[in-house]
Structure 1
Amino acid sequence: MNEEGTLVDSKMLSKKIVSIAAGEAHTIALTGDGSVYSWGRGRMGRLGTGSEHDQLFPVPIEFDSSSERGKLRVTEIAAGGYHSLALTDDGSVWCWGDNVYGQLGLDGGHSLVPVLLESFLEVGSSDSSTDEPEMKSKAPLKVSSVKAGGMMSLAIDNLGALWMWGNCPQRNSSSEDGLAPMPVLNLHGHTVVKVACGNEHVVALVTAGETYKGGDLVCYSWGNNNHGQLGLGDKTSRLHPEVIEHFNQEFPCAAYEVACGAFHTAILAHKKSQSDTLGSACWTFGLGDNGQLGHGTTKSSLLPEPVKELPENLSLISVDCGLFHTSVISSDGDLWSWGMEKGLGLCPDARFTGTDAGDAVSPLLISCNGMHGPKFPSPVQVACGAAHTVLLAEAGYKLWSWGRGMSGVLGNGKVVDCFTPSIVLWPPVSEDIKEEGKDIVPGDTKGEEKDPEGITEMDKRLSMAMEEITFLRSKLSVVERYASILHGLTFGKPFEERDIPISLQNSGTFDFINEWDNMLESADHSKLIRLEMFYRNMLAGVKDKLMKRRIGEIIKECLNSTARN
């Protein structure tokens, strides 16, 4: 391939997102060229940008690589409640954010920038010691996968062993005060393929034998079990992994994906007779107070139960859990959510009122509301934060988000809650401006003269363009909020894109009388009653105001007449 073709491929990879992860109120994304972006709440450094400022749009994270390592290429990312992890192609792990429980594997407070976790390098060296001879390896230890949740971090090494650090069950049951990652020795002799963790519990998909050859996986769980989130049939906590019997080798369904909420667990499994994920189902267990199990009730479940109201013969490709909500997406682009506040995950301080309020105890189909109709095109992954959801689709070139918008976690430039999927600003505006400038990046002095302060003309243009875009988006946000308030007062529900009148969508003009008649014709009895009450109150207020002004005028006339006499 020639140099021009390589450059084009590089540009495409930089715009394609291959993985996303969501924390309590922040989101991170990994692109095809190994770059990482973050947005949302910056407190405690969870964004890795070097500051604690919130970011309303995706911004790049810089990794301080030494000259020996060369340029780092990130291959995997993970987000805990208030911290983040990244794995690079040389097998090194980088951590940033909150460190109150040692979830960064470092001594000290939180970190505003990615810091290399040296512990794995020390454990993998030839002179490292361990109580288990089997854990030794002549080859240097490398990490092949990372995961995070709550205030703990996890990693799977190149031998299939699981390591944990932070607020994890092993640490809590150990007298050790060290911060270094510890291996889960109980799983020795097996290969850990996938793992997930909640606030204080862990669920792993593990091979029955020593190596993974694509066969059936056995499901293990351990940690806090006060709500039955381990799926073991009781509420007794476990310090060490135990098999969830519903997903052992004899079970007719094979588990292939796992996700954990704060106190509940979701597992994707397909029928063993199927060669792929067709005919898959979602099984949930644990806390069900807000409908996050999707079983049609708010009851908790001590054993795995299928989410029965999902359609049959689905091919579910991704599942994730927020604090109190769950989301799954199929290969066809259908997305379902259930749990707190209609599956949006919105916490009590952000509840909306009206007939549409309330938790979703069964799956709700979330529509794309775009040109593709209700389905999300070429879906890749869904990720749930504490109270927001992010969806990666269009083969990695487009992001949608919804839920709590505080601190800019939705990446759409706003800090307000969004009740339907909204587009995340991707790729970042600065990247588009670079392309329009024919790849002249800020600081590149070729063909440009610097002023005395060392600022190029392109730097100035980029800065002015970014300021103008930020200003326009802030104005747009105010207008949208104003329209949403008026719409909510009139119709008793938040404004959605599909509420835009057809005449305005098609022609750009608004036939008010015709659209008003259409709205009245399509409204049900309850909406008509609400409209009647709303406008009756408005009319009463107008009449009252007119009456008060008329009385004031009469009094003024009488006073003037008395003064003249």
Structure 2
Amino acid sequence: MSHKLIAVAAGEAHTLALSGDGYVYSWGRGMFGRLGNGSESDELFPVRVKFQDSELKFIAVAAGAYHSLALADDGSVWSWGYNISELELDSKIKSKASLKISAVKAGGMTSLAIDNRGALWMWGNCTQENSDGDGSLMFVSSFTPIPVWDFHGHTVVKVACGNEHVVALVSAGEKHKGDDLVCYTWGGNGHGQLGLGDTENRVRPEMIGMFNQEFQWTVYEVACGAFHTALLTRKKRPSDTLESLCWTFGLGDRGQLGHGTTQSALVPEPVKELPQPVYLVSVDCGLFHTSVVSSAGDVWSWGMEKGLGLCPDASFTGTDSGDAISPLQISGDGVHGPKFDDPVQVSCGAAHTVLVAHDGCKLWSWGRGRSGVLGNGKNVDCFAPSIVLWPPRNEDFQQEELNQSDKIVDKESSDGDSEMEKKLSLAMEEMKLLQSKLSTMERYASILHGSIFGKPFEEQDIPSSLKNSGTFDIAREWENMLESADRSKLVRLEMFHRNMLAGVKDKMMKKMIQEIIKEYLPSSTQGK
């Protein structure tokens, strides 16, 4: 069991894996501490996450864009990574005595958990009705888990979330029985990602009418991209055949819906070009791509850059270039054949895809490879599945290698350091210092950017004028940003401005009161 993977989760540029013996592994980009390795360094291969309680065994993992969650067998949830809207680094959510968390999920800058009574909890970036009372939507940071009371008296079975929306599968009655699941959505809906037939935001959960109890298909899997949603449905029992359909809706500009067009869809529509009959065991969404895997081991992807996701450096040319607006089959590496036997799960990050197959014994990845997110020891994009180093090399063996290396270095140093070696050592120290300063500056910029805009600062957020000319007209760039912002972003900016202004006024009032007291009331020393 120690060599088997039972679950994977992919974030913006990092990946988590859970082994059968209850250990959590991570690799990819380390910025914000999302890998849980005690630093912000990248990892090119899977590395085991060390927890404060070494006796704990874990049963589930989840990855948001820049943070990670792990659920232990005692019902506690551990979290680490980006913390503008999350819990503290390496923090632990303790359940009440009568409650135990049984499932965790994350997406964007939101975290979710389902307890053993079927109640849903949320924290991080959460939706809330605007205080103006006009029914509009705003997003606030909740630093502690809050219950979603709308499902009281029902059982939440599965949940997923995108940048601004949430999808949940909930029992029609009090308890989950067979095919009685109904699908609820809420949150941002600017592209129809709620599947409710319009683009109006929803503060509270609303059922997708199509998937009611009378419908012949029942939903059993849900996944969210940045602004699109994917569902898997199967024919309700009794049925002579085991078959399923994939339904997608929301933003479709890069083909991420797989409908053969780049149009958005306001209601669920089936991905018709997937072969029939087929039974799909797993689905997931990246920012702008979608992937599914069948019980027979066939994998299909569609969306940006041939279904690979966001690969800005992709070198496709001619007929091989462009987005995949319909499903493309992803073939194996040739060594293990075109199919991925005994598939377990597919998981999509922002621009990479991870697949667990061979009953959990083998792991593949493809897509954007920078920062080592593919786990194959490289920093380059892979346009076809590449094998991930699994199981990881024995850690004791790795430490022994390091010790042997240190001994060799010590012996060479004892023979006398040359002038070149000294210069190289000084250069390395200077480079480490510069890297440390750069990391601190990146973190500072991301915290400021996250406080204002609700997401960390990334390379694509750098204004083109600053990239091209080295100059920055802040007034013009501010005007451009306001012009391109949608309503939810403008509401967030307004709330940030109000809170900041209120804080400044409060401080000014306190300063004035202190000055008046100093001026008109003699100090205790003057009164003596």
Q: 1:348 maps to what in 2?
A: 312
Structure 2 matches for 1:466-505, cutoff 5 A?
Answer: none
How many Å separate the matches in 2 of 1:383 and 1:309?
21
The structure 1 residue matched to 2:66, chosen from 39, 58, 82, is: 82
The structure 2 residue matched to 1:460, chosen from 395, 403, 414, is: 403
Structure 2 matches for 1:334-483, cutoff 5 A?
Answer: 334-350=298-314, 352-430=316-394, 460-461=403-404
Q: 1:115 maps to what in 2?
A: 91
Q: 1:159 maps to what in 2?
A: 117
Structure 2 matches for 1:57-206, cutoff 5 A?
Answer: 57-65=45-53, 71-101=55-85, 103-104=86-87, 106=88, 111=89, 114-118=90-94, 121=95, 124=96, 140-170=98-128, 179-206=143-170
In structure 2, the CA distance between the partners of 1:194 and 1:352, relative to structure 1 (3 Å rule), is same
How many Å separate the matches in 1 of 2:8 and 2:47?
14
What code does the residue aligned with 1:53 have?
A: S
Q: 1:511 maps to what in 2?
A: none
Tell me which moved more, 266-275 or 384-393. 266-275
TM-score normalised per structure 1: 0.68
Q: Deviations over 1:394-429 (max 9, x none)?
A: 100110000000100000000000000000011112
How many Å separate the matches in 1 of 2:371 and 2:211?
40
Q: Deviations over 1:92-141 (max 9, x none)?
A: 0100000112x22x4xxxx3xx32124xx3xx2xxxxxxxxxxxxxx522
Q: CA deviation at 1:177?
A: 6.7
- Match of 1:342, SS state, is helix
Q: CA deviation at 1:176?
A: 8.1
Q: 1:215 maps to what in 2?
A: 179
In structure 2, the CA distance between the partners of 1:270 and 1:177, relative to structure 1 (3 Å rule), is closer
In structure 2, the CA distance between the partners of 1:298 and 1:59, relative to structure 1 (3 Å rule), is same
* 1:232 aligned onto 2:196: yes
In structure 2, the CA distance between the partners of 1:176 and 1:381, relative to structure 1 (3 Å rule), is closer
Give the RMSD, CA atoms, in angstroms. Answer: 2.2
* 1:27 aligned onto 2:11: no
How many Å separate the matches in 2 of 1:72 and 1:92?
10
Given that 1:216 and 1:255 are in contact with CA atoms closer than 8 Å, whether structure 2 keeps it comes out as: no
How many Å separate the matches in 1 of 2:199 and 2:119?
27
Given that 1:277 and 1:315 are in contact with CA atoms closer than 8 Å, whether structure 2 keeps it comes out as: no
The structure 2 residue matched to 1:329, chosen from 293, 298, 302, is: 293
How many Å separate the matches in 2 of 1:458 and 1:350?
36
Q: Deviations over 1:199-244 (max 9, x none)?
A: 0100000000111133320000000000000000000000000000
In structure 2, the CA distance between the partners of 1:60 and 1:277, relative to structure 1 (3 Å rule), is farther
Q: CA deviation at 1:29?
A: 0.2
Q: 1:549 maps to what in 2?
A: none
In structure 2, the CA distance between the partners of 1:333 and 1:265, relative to structure 1 (3 Å rule), is same
Give the paired residue count: 402
Q: Deviations over 1:436-491 (max 9, x none)?
A: xxxxx95xxxxxxxxxxxxxx676359899xxxxxxxxxxxxxxxxxxxxxxxxxx
What code does the residue aligned with 2:270 have?
A: P
Q: 1:44 maps to what in 2?
A: 32
Larger Rg: 1
How many Å separate the matches in 2 of 1:57 and 1:277?
41
Q: CA deviation at 1:313?
A: 1.3
What code does the residue aligned with 1:460 have?
A: N
In structure 2, the CA distance between the partners of 1:171 and 1:234, relative to structure 1 (3 Å rule), is closer
How many Å separate the matches in 1 of 2:187 and 2:406?
50
How many Å separate the matches in 2 of 1:422 and 1:99?
32
How many Å separate the matches in 2 of 1:165 and 1:299?
32
- Aligned-residue sequence identity (percent) comes to 68
In structure 2, the CA distance between the partners of 1:462 and 1:270, relative to structure 1 (3 Å rule), is farther
How many Å separate the matches in 2 of 1:327 and 1:283?
12
- Match of 1:355, SS state, is helix
TM-score normalised per structure 2: 0.73
- For structure 2, the 5+ residue unaligned runs are 131-136, 409-528
